[in-house]
Amino acid sequence: MPPVLLRAAQVTRRYGDRVVLAGVDLELAEGELVVLLGRSGAGKTSLLRLFARLEEPDEGALFFDGAPLTSHDPRALRRQVAYVAQAPVVFPGTLRDNLTMVPRGIIAPSEAQLVAQLEAVGLAPERLDRDASRLSGGERQRLCLVRALLMEPRVLLLDEPTSALDPAHEQQLTALIRERVARGGAALVITHSERVARLLAGRVALLADGRLTPLDAEAQRAFFHEEAP
């Protein structure tokens, strides 16, 4: 049995009176990819943010690598459990500036790593010294994924990583995510696209009414059918 990297145990999260997560249980083992489905506002993003420890659960506990999230240094934890938000954040400066920004005490990625990673997502390495603010929505999304991958994290938490991509890049990116997982990582990916869910080919779970339930192939088809009539 591969070790469990991430675990949520009876996690509840409320915002004011609104209960977004009501006793969620989830296990993500090494080499595993979980696709998270659910309507807008179902709490998918909250779950990812809880695993990145950007917020705290109201009840229940979360674990990384067998130890409670609260027992890890949040800074070290976030480099191992990489969260990429839905809205891509590009910092002022060049692509290189964006990819080599690291906190004190961390070694910035090498030129070879930058080139390899950019090529892997279909961004030309010649653009490393161009102004990052000129990137299109899809390019920004890929830049943010590259920035996360360069940390060599063990777990990827991706919030709709392909929402602004064309089908070719969608395929390239999902293949990259799968390859990372196959190399001993794990990923929890939110998507609204049936095609992306199929390309990722992971275990599928639906978040609805604050609870997480596994979905088989038929239930998935039903979900996407309802989602886009």
Partner 1 sequence: MTESAQVAASLDIPWSRLSLLALLILLMLVLSRWLRLGFERPLLIASLRGALQLTAVGYVLTALFALTRPELVFTTLLVMLAVAGRTATSRAGRQLPGVSMVATLTMGVGTGLSLLLTTQAVLGVTPWYSPQHWIPIGGMLLGNAMSGVSLASERLTEEIEAKRGEIEARLCLGYSGHEALHPLVARSLRAAMIPTLNSLTVAGVVQLPGMMTGQILSGVSPLIAVKYQLVILAALVLSVTVSSLLFLRALAARHLTAAHQLRQL
Using rule CB under 8 A, residue 182 touches partner 1: no
Binding string, residues 1-40; x marks residues near partner 1 by CB under 8 A? ----------------------------------------
Tokens of 47: 């779950």
Binding string, residues 45-84; x marks residues near partner 1 by CB under 8 A? -------xxxxx-------------x---xxx-xx--xxx
Nearest residue (CB) to partner 1, 21 versus 199: 21
- CA 3, 22, 53, 189 dihedral sign is positive
**Over the chain, what HEC string results?**
CCCEEEEEEEEEEEECCEEEEEEEEEEEECCCEEEEECCCCCCHHHHHHHHCCCCCCCEEEEEECCEEHHHCCHHHHHHHEEEECCCCCCCCCEHHHHHHCCCCCCCCCCHHHHHHHHHHCCCCHHHHHCEHHHCCHHHHHHHHHHHHHCCCCCEEEEECCCCCCCHHHHHHHHHHHHHHHHCCCEEEEECCCHHHHHHHCCEEEEEECCEEEECCHHHHHHHHHHHCC
The site for partner 1, by CB under 8 A, has a size of 27
CB of 1 to partner 1, least distance (A): 30
Using rule CB under 8 A, residue 200 touches partner 1: no
Using rule CB under 8 A, residue 89 touches partner 1: yes
Using rule CB under 8 A, residue 104 touches partner 1: yes
CB of 182 to partner 1, least distance (A): 24
Find the binder of partner 1 among 27, 58, 68, 106 (CB under 8 A). Answer: 106
Using rule CB under 8 A, residue 221 touches partner 1: no
Nearest residue (CB) to partner 1, 102 versus 124: 102
Using rule CB under 8 A, residue 147 touches partner 1: yes
Nearest residue (CB) to partner 1, 5 versus 50: 50
Using CB under 8 A as the criterion, which residues of the chain lie in contact with partner 1 when the complex forms? 52-56, 70, 74-76, 78-79, 82-85, 87, 89, 91, 101-104, 106, 144, 147-148, 151
